[in-house]
Amino acid sequence: MRIGILTSGGDCPALNAVIRGFAKYAYKNIRGAEIYGIADGYGGLIAGEYKKMHPEDFSGILNVGGTILGTSRQPFKKMTVEENNSTKVEKMKANYKKMGLDALVTLGGAGTHKSAALLCEEGLNVVGLPKTIDNDIFGTDVTFGFYSAVDVATECIDRVHTTAASHGRTMLVEIMGNKVGWLTLYAGIAGGADIILLPEIPFDTDVVCKKVLQRAEAGKAFSIIAIAEGAIEKSEAGLKKKERAQKRSETGDVTATNRLAREINARTGVETRVVIPGHIQRGGSPSALDRAISTQVGAYAGYLCKEGLFGTTVAIHGEKITHNKIADIAGKTKWVPLDHPMLEIGRSVGISFGEK
């Protein structure tokens, strides 16, 4: 069986651990397994850039961050746009055939799954794997890369904590996560943030300022705010994405973070700083938990190939590794549900989510 494998979209820790788990399973359990590494995600499949891999290529990479295959972002909306008498999907289909592939394994996030669904419609045998630090893929409890990013983001909050305490400042730590708040919620709770602001709960600036003042009055001179990059102020909640971006650009802002920091500073008089760890959250070695998960899901993708269960993507439900149909989950977002137990627990220990 000849299998192509690619990693697409933003990278994350544990991509290599998954690739390794898949390859080890395939060489051991699939008769005549040949693995072709496709360079830079769908970009390599479009351009026909790939190479035959060997078992030794997959050794020593379990704890290595990034992806040995390289990655790129290939926007879904451009997949079916005609350029020089052909579309990207057509090019991928042609290269899949040219490579003589029996299956294609795609490690990626939401966009990758949408394109994978297109490839399935075109008759390709695709097996997906749910990657992203954002944890926003529908139909799986967790995505690989998420727990490693939680650890990094938590350490950032920890480090900010001590300096905030020394100076008696309010510090806002802007956490990645794209449109959803999973990473901010988990790192915020783990890092002991006083205020956690998620896209799913538009925040009220008055409430946030009041909380900072209450803490100051109670003798706690510093406050830590974990704010998601996708967080939205209440007054912006009704706006479309473009309108929100336009409104923010008037003050030179991209996210809600800097504006909130200015407001806190002005309204409370508490010195306020912003920290944006950015891509640090995606870099470096995967955590032990992520390595274990990745070995499981990688091997399971090998099993799906072996059994010919194509058009599927791996999913984790509790302790169980299972799969969903790609068509059923593509294009759907897994938001933090408003009744998530972590929110209730957070409120019960005095964390503010910026709501009235």
Catalytic residues: 134
Per-residue binding string, ligand F6P, 220-249, x by CB under 6 A, is: ---------x--------------------
Would you say 152 or 160 has its CB closer to ligand F6P?
A: 152
Q: Which residue has the tokens 């409370």?
A: 268
Of the ranges 126-134, 160-168, 240-248, 309-317, which one interacts with ligand F6P (CB under 6 A)?
126-134
Cβ atoms of 283 and 65 within 8 Å: the answer is yes
Residues 6 or more apart whose CB falls under 8 angstroms from that of 324 comprise 139, 140, 312, 313, 315
Would you say 90 or 141 has its CB closer to ligand F6P?
A: 141
Q: Is 24 helix (H, G, I), strand (E, B) or coil?
A: helix
Cβ atoms of 185 and 335 within 8 Å: the answer is no
Please tell me the distance from the alpha carbon of residue 309 to that of residue 336, in angstroms, as a whole number.
Answer: 30
Instruction: Determine which residue in the list 4, 10, 41, 181 makes contact with ligand F6P, applying CB under 6 A.
Output: 10
Residue 133 binds ligand F6P, judged by CB under 6 A: yes
Would you say 264 or 329 has its CB closer to ligand F6P?
A: 329
Of the ranges 52-60, 170-178, 314-322, 326-334, which one interacts with ligand F6P (CB under 6 A)?
170-178
Would you say 192 or 283 has its CB closer to ligand F6P?
A: 283
Would you say 134 or 194 has its CB closer to ligand F6P?
A: 134
Q: Which residue is nearest to ligand F6P (CB)?
A: 176
Residue 282 binds ligand F6P, judged by CB under 6 A: yes
Encoded tokens for 132? 């992203």
Output Rg (C-alpha) for the chain, integer angstroms: 22
Instruction: Determine which residue in the list 134, 194, 200, 290 makes contact with ligand F6P, applying CB under 6 A.
Output: 134
The single-letter DSSP state of residue 58 is: G
Of the ranges 49-57, 115-123, 131-139, 292-300, which one interacts with ligand F6P (CB under 6 A)?
131-139
How far CA 307 is from CA of 43, 125, 325, 326, in Å, comes to 28, 12, 15, 16
Task: Tell me the sheet residues that pair with 313.
Answer: 128, 324
Neighbour count for residue 243 (Cβ, 10 Å): 11
| Nearest CA among 208, 198, 202 for reference residue 239 | 202
Please tell me the distance from the alpha carbon of residue 141 to that of residue 128, in angstroms, as a whole number.
Answer: 15
Name residues contacting ligand F6P, limited to 71-110 (CB under 6 A): 73, 109
Residue 66 binds ligand F6P, judged by CB under 6 A: no
Instruction: Determine which residue in the list 18, 153, 164, 176 makes contact with ligand F6P, applying CB under 6 A.
Output: 176
Q: What does the chain come to in residues?
A: 356
Q: Is 38 helix (H, G, I), strand (E, B) or coil?
A: strand
How far CA 281 is from CA of 130, 148, 156, 285, in Å, comes to 18, 8, 9, 11
Residue 268 binds ligand F6P, judged by CB under 6 A: no
- Tell me the closest approach of the beta carbon of residue 230 to ligand F6P, in angstroms: 8
Name residues contacting ligand F6P, limited to 13-42 (CB under 6 A): none
Would you say 137 or 261 has its CB closer to ligand F6P?
A: 137
Task: Tell me the sheet residues that pair with 190.
Answer: none
Would you say 23 or 196 has its CB closer to ligand F6P?
A: 196
Of the ranges 38-46, 51-59, 130-138, 235-243, which one interacts with ligand F6P (CB under 6 A)?
130-138
Of the ranges 98-106, 121-129, 175-183, 188-196, which one interacts with ligand F6P (CB under 6 A)?
175-183
Task: Tell me the sheet residues that pair with 228.
Answer: 175
| Binding region for ligand F6P (CB under 6 A) | 10, 73, 109, 132-134, 176-178, 229, 282
